[in-house]
Amino acid sequence: MPYAVEMYFDEPGTARIREMWDRLSSIGFSSMNDCGARPHVSLAVCEQLELSTAPAIVDDFSGGVPPFELSFSSYGLFPGAECVLFLAPKVTSLMLEKHARFHEVISTATDGMWAHYTPGQWVPHCTLARAFSI
């Protein structure tokens, strides 16, 4: 089972995204609320994580990253057999720098990083609905 490291929103941001999840669910999309998800933007997903060291690395990293504003500029769609509809944030140099720095520090405690979450490949997003066909 893969491991994910996620950035969470403040309470008002979380509530707004949950409202969007509910609206999409009411018109037939998958319910992200029902699957136990919390609104987030993933920094990394990997197959293996060294559980004896990774939590301290994540705590140390997150302690050095003050909360920052995130504004969403568009919707996006990851195509495939089971599509993913998402909110796309306005990508800033700060976001890219923090993402790259996180990958540097976590690299000693992980293996099997999913390529599309690595620096240069990452498409930051907040999932709105998944597992549907178009």
- Torsion angle (degrees, nearest 10) of CA 35, 115, 45, 73: -60
Residues with Cβ within 8 Å of residue 15, at least 6 apart in sequence: none
Q: What is the pLDDT of residues 83-118, one digit of tens each?
A: 899 999 999 999 999 999 999 999 999 888 999 999
Question: What is the predicted pLDDT for the residue at 132?
Answer: 65
* Collapsed DSSP state (helix, strand, coil) of residue 124: coil
Q: How confident is the model at residue 77 (pLDDT cuts 50, 70, 90)?
A: very high
In whole angstroms, give the CA distance from residue 100 to residue 91.
13
Question: What is the predicted pLDDT for the residue at 83?
Answer: 87
Question: What is the predicted pLDDT for the residue at 133?
Answer: 58
Q: Return the H-helix or E-strand segment holding 89.
A: strand 83-89
Question: What is the predicted pLDDT for the residue at 32?
Answer: 84
Q: What is the pLDDT of residues 3-34, one digit of tens each?
A: 999 999 999 999 999 999 999 999 988 878 77
Where do the structural domains in the chain lie, given as residue ranges? 3-70+93-127
Q: What angle do CA 51, 5, 112 make, to 5 degrees?
A: 65
- First-to-last alpha carbon distance for the chain, in angstroms, is 28
Residues paired with 11 in a beta bridge: none
Q: What are phi and psi of 74, to 5 degrees?
A: -165, 170
Q: Say how many residues make up the chain.
A: 134
Question: What is the predicted pLDDT for the residue at 43?
Answer: 94
Find the mean pLDDT for residues 66-76: 92
Q: How confident is the model at residue 121 (pLDDT cuts 50, 70, 90)?
A: very high
